[in-house]
Amino acid sequence: MLNAERLEAIRAWQAQDPDQATVTALDHLVERAEAGESDAVAELVDAFAGRLEFGTAGLRAALGPGPNRMNRVVVAQAAAGLARWLVEHGHPGARVLVGYDARYNSDVFARDTAEILAGHGLRAMLTETHVPTPVVAFGIGHFDCVAGVVVTASHNPPQDNGYKVYVGKSQIIPPTDGEIAAHIDAVADGSLADIPRSDAFETIGEPLLEAYVGRAASLVADNAPRDLRWVYTPMHGVGAEVVARVLDRTGFPAPALVDAQALPDPAFPTVAFPNPEEKGAMDLALALAVETDADVAIANDPDADRCALAAPFDGTWRMLTGDELGWLLADDALRRGTPGTYACSVVSSTLLGRMATAAGQPFEMTLTGFKWIGRVPNLAFGYEEAIGYCTDAEAVADKDGISTLTRLLALVAALKAEGSTVAQRLDDIARTHGVHLTSQLSFRVQDLSIIADAMARIRAELPEQLAGVPVTASDLGAGWNGLPPTDGVLFEGEGVRAVARPSGTEPKLKVYLQVSLPPERSADLAAARAEGSATMEQLKADMAAALGL
């Protein structure tokens, strides 16, 4: 049953909700809760336990009624808070680009945002239809916008949506996120009816897409090889149309398309989680790759800011890890003589630093997320192991699954013309720089206290050895190697490395693992990889035990 105070809060929130769907859903929840249904009570308690926190990832949560869910009330308050911050910081009348993916309510949330930005005197530009996130990230700079918003939950489950904010060409970082959050709190203390709106916003379509496609196509040299067979899946997302336009412009052959995943579908019916990294998500693409005797299979996630690659290794198809693809792309950039800083996140492999240094290029390690990687001065190439890659930093200072796909097509075609393969190129990298193996432990939870308890446990009893190797521990929460504090613990020893940290976007505790052997041990790659794999299994077991999970 609901007490009178909670019921009053629920009805007060409902009274300002402009969305009949969430108004009705709330009525049903209240009715069920009043009838004593415990799951309805629990849902209402959680939905009204507090306000959805606005942070460096913006907003991301399940759709539904209440201040702790994604809905039109919460989005309107966020848009008004952002608008107030922009005006306060000297940007009245400035351009702000708003785009959205094909998830449930993304178009509604985006239009609300454009109306509210316009109502505050800003020059809002709303995309005519759903677009990939990197198209918006590109458009912010192309149209000289001071900020941008993308309504997307990226690769989250279908019941989620989100709200990603850029100020300048990069995602927000502290203290900007906290300042915007304070404005959102102030808006939320008032009435939704008091938020000014206007339909005097622009819509932007073909000029944005044409500019982005032209830039992506420019990454391929006129005389580059183009002969390859490949499979593509946009994972029920919004990438396919833009990819097709890039192919038309560059002259690469059309892919064998995974038809069941080709069109935008917010239900993501063929996958448990619409993330190419998740087990089973690439099964249809891999089956089609075998059927068509493809050279590679490529996937974007639903908002097309991530990119995944699968290829045959000794006759067996498998996904490259996020680090392996990062090494491949970095090696390609270095071979092309691309100058500048090469950067990756602290949870990614250390091999990128070795590669950059060997080529005489600077290297920088950042906190997790492209809000940090994209801000590295003079960035030439950046990546994080969660299949996010920045391969054209001048145009998109963020991860971009479509420009990455374009780079990969050029690379695979060039390798094929040389009589080589993705697997062989990775072998070359290992012989030159040493065998590096990376893996993960990932613990998805319903109760976030499990993550907090595990992190407290490992900090209280820091392991002195992992996989039989003495290690030193660094608490990233206290800052490390010049990086700002973040919740995580790093362990390093000779040839072993592990980072434990809570995910910033999902209810997961993740452990990022690396085992490495020096180049002199890599003459026999099979033996070195077998040794490394055995060490990795022990490293996994030791870290799981240390976390108590």
**Nearest-angstrom CA–CA distance, 154 and 304:** 8
Q: Which of 401, 410, 432, 391 is nearest to 525 (CA)?
A: 432
Whether 393 and 380 have beta carbons less than 8 Å apart is answered as: yes
Burial of 87 per CB tally in 10 Å (0-12, 13-18, 19+): middle
> Which amino acid type is present at position 224?
A
Instruction: Determine the Cα angle at 546 with ends 541 and 547, to 5°.
Output: 100
Catalytic residue among 154, 345, 516, 522: 154
**Nearest-angstrom CA–CA distance, 334 and 317:** 27
Q: At what angle do helices 401-417 and 240-250 cross, to 10 degrees?
A: 40
154 included as an active-site residue = yes
Tracing tokens 């912010």 back to the chain, one arrives at: 140
Which stretches of 48-71 are DSSP H helices? Answer: none
Whether 306 and 399 have beta carbons less than 8 Å apart is answered as: yes
Q: Which of 507, 444, 515, 133 is nearest to 279 (CA)?
A: 444
Quickly list DSSP for 510-547: EEEEEEE--GGG-SSHHHHHHHHHHHHHHHHHHHHHHH
Quickly list DSSP for 144-203: T-SEEEEE--TTS-TTEEEEEEEETTEE--TTHHHHHHHHHHHHHTS-GGGS---S--EE
Q: Which three-class secondary structure string do you get for 498-512? A: EEEEECCCCCEEEEE
**Nearest-angstrom CA–CA distance, 519 and 487:** 33
Residue 6 tokens read as 């909670």
Residues belonging to the active site: 154
